[in-house]
A and B are shown apart, each in its own frame.
Chain A
């Protein structure tokens, strides 16, 4: 990353006028990091095993001393098994889907069968009389979709229906059967309006208008969203020329005139749905003195804040609990329309209400990755140096904006002239949501194929070209340089054959693509660590575990400070009453939570040392916590079990709460909720594919995934996430695609048998190489990996496809039809 100056907002609080100003005035430079007393600290910087150097940073005075490399630690950096693993393999882990409260009612939504309609009337009387029904609620406002800039542009008692499957009303009844039966009795009179479901049709001037006027689309903490204040003509909103505040720069026309080689092509990607195994869901329990929400969410605070705002409750009257979240991938923020209905119904019925999407609704309205049509043109000199990059991109996120294709064009490679135009195209389809590296996956698919094509055109090795232009000097660029080397050795790059070498119908090839993602820090991240008089240690933070292993890494970091084992630590997340914690999105939990946790644990340990020191007749500075024991430095014989020492010290309870400090070097950009470093997160992936040129079937046989995430806190869990990113990337590249019926606007494959996702038989052999990179920026130097692991895969597969067949595949997914079409091109 370089020149990172802006990002998505977090809660959509920015008013359009503010946004316009921000775009006009340019991004704000954040204030210097960490005001207050500080010290100059020598720290190790670089990739462990590949040349470290010492740097000096200005560090807050009360930050713990820097950690050495992982090999010298006992808990951090070790492949510790997931602490909640036993709960998950025994079925004891309680997801929102599993919450059953006394007197709980079952919620059922009434969905519009039409893709575009005004609602003339709704008659709920028969449903209200149905036995077992306790409450009925009609949708008054819609979340997740784009909002009209001028709400008065549309009149009507009920929100206009803009996609088939949009919720209209809901019932709560004492059994699922009664709720379903009653929902069918709700009579809705619609006035159908003309609709449009394909991006190509929607872009036409005379296409039916999805919205009657210009719109705004706030982002969630997972990213996505669209910048405010952009022009809108018909269904086409844009252009956005500064994705995440970056670019344009130079003069691309001049750049192309100076270019010796120009590579230009159009790329198309499909709509992908999130398909978390646990669908979106919320159980609302409205009581006079407290609203308790059990939510399948990626950020408990987003659920609390939205519920408090919409129901005008103080935040201390809303509690959100999320013990386990069964996957999210970017789509699970806020209360959602289902949650809004659940809360209304619970308030009316005075009973808890469970509202969980079924698999069909999950596809239709739970979120998706927008499609894209990208026209990308890159100009270069014969030596490979880039001169100009120009992109025009259209994408549709249905009734929501946010179809940009990332920020890689102006940040990944050195290029003096960059111009990007991105447009949102509205269609009568379910709203998009942030999806694992929103935009960047689509953008990299096109950019990394173009760079590959350029390498071929100028007769340069694909890795050598990248080495020449990936030179920003940021941490991610340094990591990629090392990753290219390690990966090339592992995969056998030197034996790569020229494109289309196989003579028979089955063709094999090897390709590479680079990853890039922002290194985000969630500001206002806190952690409380508590030591009880019996020697037990607990840590609390209002973050959540969506499958990444948050509890485990939290326990590892705290255990390190006390010389305990991770399983000795009680690690608690998933409750909005704990100190504020990061969103599980933007690959930011580990980078944000672990420094706060270490800082709190360190303070606890030092205070404990002071309390224990008299027992040993030593000074507190000489007390050492290691291997479950307390001892005096240099006197092994003094060792006493940790618990015994705490008990003898007379401590009843001590606790410290600490915050995530700013990165020691500061940030390129900050909003009230998050900061973005000028450094990014890298990654390089190599793919081997086999293409059957007679059937058009593509198999990904092997992926070598080389990644960096700062200091890996737990390499075992990190590897799992990289497996997941690669597998989702292969799935996106080869299979996944939402199919809408243009006539009815209904999704034809809103299930998991016809919406094809990689299964056990299609999983390639995946080899993961993980760097340990110390950036000297925080008390743990940890960064995330979830999104970087998903960014490069489809592009690497596409480049391998070219190496196999000698043909470019510029359309995803690589279904037989798309593959055979690509093979027919000349």
Chain B
């Protein structure tokens, strides 16, 4: 099987497939599997464009707004947020997924934005620390962090808040063990964990009550 070198083939296997980019790093067997799978996808929907090293257009659903930017495919979500969009609330502490300072939500799941390519966030709802509050009204976890002093220098705080808020949204009946689990990947050098536990449980309790009443 020898795919045509000509990208302008009138019946391309995949839309806008750049052969050179596509084959880079792909083994033959993996290639076959990928082709079968992607061809099937292509039959039902417009498949993703394969992106070259040069910047391409990226559309993101970011904090409830649609954002369109030019980014090169190697850009991490953290880099895009901070360096291109000026949204510096998301911190980068280690740049290798080990400290969780860069935590954001993709849909309702937490993700390390330093380990997520910006292009992989397409089609998902991205929520950052800037998008957690509703206007001036803080998320219950944010409020509880302030009230319980669950922060000192504050550099790990945005990431910590995102994970704790995700937990409380997912499980308002969370236990101390659940909170420890939720922040187990987060590093806080000031050692503010006891108050993070306290704040998150307080927020969960408050939001649980709220939900019970409604």
Contact = CB atoms under 8 A, between A and B. Distances in A.
Interface of A: 81-82, 84-95, 97-98, 100, 176, 274-278, 324-327, 329, 358-359, 546-549, 716-717, 719-721, 723-728, 731, 751-753, 757-761, 763, 766
A87 B194 CA distance: 21
B145 interface: yes
A733 to B, nearest CB: 13
Contacts of A759: 183-187, 193
Nearest to B194: A723
A90 B130 contact: yes
B95 interface: yes
Interface string B81-117: 0110011111111111011010000000000000000
* Chain B CB within 10 Å, residue with most, of A324, A724, A751, A766: A724
B101 A277 contact: yes
A278 B155 contact: yes
Given A324-B153, A759-B184, A86 B193 contact: no
B155 A100 contact: no
Contact of A85 (B89, B151, B153, B189): B151
B180 interface: yes
Interface string B171-189: 0000000011101111111
Size bracket, chain B contacts: 35 or more
Interface string B143-186: 00111010111111110010000000000000000011101111
Contacts of A89: 129, 138, 142, 145-146, 151, 154, 157-158, 161
B149 A326 contact: no
A339 B2 CA distance: 55
B192 interface: yes
A449 B213 CA distance: 56
A752 B98 contact: yes
Contacts of B94: 359, 751-753
B145 A358 contact: no
Interface string B105-142: 00000000000000000000000111011000010001
Given A89-B138, A89-B161, A761-B184, 9 more contacts: A81-B147, A87-B154, A90-B142, A91-B89, A324-B153, A324-B155, A720-B195, A723-B192, A760-B186
B98 A81 contact: no
Contacts of A723: 191-195
What's the dominant secondary structure at chain B's contact region? loop
Nearest to B128: A91
Interface of B: 79, 82-83, 86-96, 98-99, 101, 128-130, 132-133, 138, 142, 145-147, 149, 151-158, 161, 179-181, 183-197
B191 A726 contact: yes
Nearest to A176: B83
B95 A724 contact: no
Contacts of B181: 760
Given A277-B91, A277-B187, A761 B180 contact: yes
Nearest to B142: A89
Contacts of B79: 176
B195 A277 contact: no
Contacts of B88: 91, 94, 97-98, 100
Contacts of B185: 759
Contacts of A728: 189, 191
Contact of A758 (B86, B147, B191): B191
Contacts of B157: 88-89
A160 to B, nearest CB: 30
A327 B189 contact: yes
11 contacts: A82-B151, A89-B145, A100-B86, A277-B93, A327-B152, A358-B95, A720-B192, A723-B192, A724-B152, A724-B191, A766-B194
A735 to B, nearest CB: 12
B47 to A, nearest CB: 28
Contacts of B155: 95, 97, 276-278, 324, 326-327
A766 B193 CA distance: 10
Contact of A88 (B93, B154, B187): B154
Contact of A90 (B83, B138, B156): B138
A277 B142 contact: no
B96 to A, nearest CB: 7
A277 B95 CA distance: 12
Nearest to B185: A759
Contact of B91 (A97, A358, A549, A761): A97
Given A88-B157, A91-B90, A275 B189 contact: yes
A91 B152 contact: no
Contact of B191 (A85, A92, A100, A725): A725
Nearest to A790: B191
A745 to B, nearest CB: 22
Contacts of B197: 760
A480 to B, nearest CB: 23
Nearest to B93: A277
Nearest to A729: B191
B153 A325 contact: yes
Contacts of A95: 91, 155
B95 A547 contact: no
* Chain A CB within 10 Å, residue with most, of B92, B132, B196: B92
A725 B194 CA distance: 12
A556 B189 CA distance: 26
A91 B129 contact: yes
B158 A276 contact: no
A85 B146 contact: yes
Contacts of A278: 91, 93, 153, 155
A617 to B, nearest CB: 43
B191 A277 contact: no
Contacts of B195: 720, 723
A547 B152 contact: yes
B97 to A, nearest CB: 8
A727 B193 contact: yes
B95 A548 contact: no
Contacts of B129: 89-91
Contacts of B96: 359, 751, 753
B152 A753 contact: no
Nearest to B79: A176
A81 B154 contact: no
A727 B128 contact: no
B98 A92 contact: no
Contacts of A276: 153, 155, 189
